[in-house]
Chain A
Amino acid sequence: MSKFKKKQGNVTPGISTASLPDIVFMLLFFFMVVTKMRDTELMVKVNTPQASELTKLEKKTLVNFIFVGRPTDKFKSKAGTKPRIQLGDKFATTDDIPLFLEKHKVSVAESQRQSIISSLKVDVDVTMGIIGDLKTSLRKAGQLKVNYSAKKRERTK
């Protein structure tokens, strides 16, 4: 009888935390799959407008991104408060557009160059002056397929 003494202090075991990292890893993998690395630091404020007639950008490799907005607080002293164009990781003017497009073009196969789209991520507050100049330089460079980045909203009735 003494051999089978009941263990003292039999409290219910605490919640096992062994599965906690599993949950966290799952969240981690979700984010790894759904997001992409922000390869360039956004030096301009870009809050895209809302629109209802949206088309999805299919192949990311065929898309080059052009950011237009007012410089963020960090860069206000360097670049001012008027809307600026950001290509890649630095500020640019409309004169830099042809070179930028060309650099992207060479990374794309010959047969697919016709399908290259320029995604314009423009802030709501930007005035149309700079956009008009941007569109003109895109047309001069032969880049006619343009996508104005926007967030989805319902169509008006």
Chain B
Amino acid sequence: MSKNKHRMRNEINAGSMADIAFLLLIFFLVTTTIAEDKGVLVKLPQWSEEPPPEMKLNSRNVYSVLVNAQNQLLIRGEQMRIEDLKNNTKIFIANPDKRSDMSENPQKAIISIKNDRGTKYKTYLEVYNELKAAYNELWEEAAMAKFGKNITELTNAQQKEIKDGIPLVISEAEPTKFGEEK
């Protein structure tokens, strides 16, 4: 009875607060997702009803990438592993040895991809990723050679200059239907 008068301490039991907090936490863990907001950026070509104009393309400037329904790569008629694609593409675009069967100059280089309707998306994206990586590395090397700086440190105009020197031209053909999922 007199004991209560001397009690100055606050006696709120904090145990149930923890329970409430845990409940709310578990609720949020279950109902939300950490947004995955990164990806490979691609600009699709414009749609036109008519077929594209027949362009006189020198086959030395065309880098054909074929992917079949077994997810195998055929680059310019030769089988290749995905690990070697990027470096092979870089050599084709830049053509440092001035070979006559490779691009005349980076501005004329065209990459053409053709896959099958049965190709797995995983393989398709890996291929596209390696091709993009080839261009990104060429741009980074050009930025270092021309301006002595990392490409991310360049102004927009300078970046455009680099990218116009080695334009990213990837054309995708209608897929073949051999391995289509029934």
Interface residues in chain A, defined as those with a beta carbon under 8 Å from any beta carbon in chain B: 17-18, 20-21, 24-25, 27-28, 31-32, 34-38, 48-49, 51-57, 60, 63, 82-83, 117, 119-129, 131-132, 135-136, 138-140, 142-152, 155-156
**Binary A-proximity of B27-38 (CB < 8 A = 1, otherwise 0):** 011011111111
Of A57, A122, A135, A136, which is within 8 A of B38 by CB? A57
Do residues A139 and B34 form an inter-chain contact, with CB atoms below 8 A?
A: no
B175 near A132 with CB under 8 A, answer: yes
Q: How far is it, in angstroms, between the C-alpha of A131 and the C-alpha of B115 when the chains are bound?
A: 11
Cβ-defined contact, A128 with B116, below 8 A = yes
Chain B residues with a Cβ closer than 8 Å to the other chain, count: 54
| Contact between B28 and A127, CB atoms less than 8 A apart | no
Instruction: Note all chain A residues with C-beta closer than 8 A to B86.
Output: 155-156
Give CA–CA (A155, B24) in the complex, Å. Answer: 40
- With A49-B125, A125-B121, A149-B36 given, can you name 19 additional A-B contacts, CB distance below 8 Å? A21-B18, A24-B18, A28-B24, A31-B29, A37-B31, A51-B129, A53-B136, A54-B39, A63-B37, A117-B41, A120-B39, A124-B120, A124-B122, A125-B120, A131-B124, A132-B117, A132-B175, A147-B40, A152-B38
Q: How far is the CA of A121 from the CA of B15 in the complex (A)?
A: 43
| Stretch with Cβ within 8 A of A (4 or more), from B43-51, B99-107, B152-160 | B43-51
A residues within 8 A CB of B130? Answer: 156
Q: Are A38 and B31 in contact (CB under 8 A)?
A: yes
CB-contact partner of A34 in B34, B43, B120, B122, under 8 A: B34
Bound state CA distance, A152 and B24, in angstroms?
A: 31
Number of A-B residue pairs, CB cutoff 8 Å, is 167
Please name all residues of chain B whose beta carbon is closer than 8 Å to the beta carbon of A56 when the two chains form the complex.
Answer: 37-38
**What is the chain B residue whose CB lies nearest that of A118?**
B44
What CA separation (Å) do A126 and B118 show in the bound complex? 9
Chain A residues near B126 (CB-CB < 8 A): 49, 51
Contacts of A49 in B (CB 8 A): 121-122, 125-126
Q: Which residue of B lies closest to A124 (CB)?
A: B122
A residues less than 8 Å from B14 (CB atoms): 17-18, 20-21
Chain B neighbourhood of A82, CB < 8 A:
181
Are the C-beta atoms of A21 and B28 separated by less than 8 Å?
Answer: no
Give complex CA distance A6, B51 in Å: 99
Of all chain A residues, which has the CB nearest B36?
A149
- In the complex where A57-B38, A140-B47 touch, is A32 in contact with B28 (Cβ < 8 A)? yes
Q: Would A139 and B47 count as touching, CB distance under 8 A?
A: yes
Closest A residue, CB atoms, query B15: A17
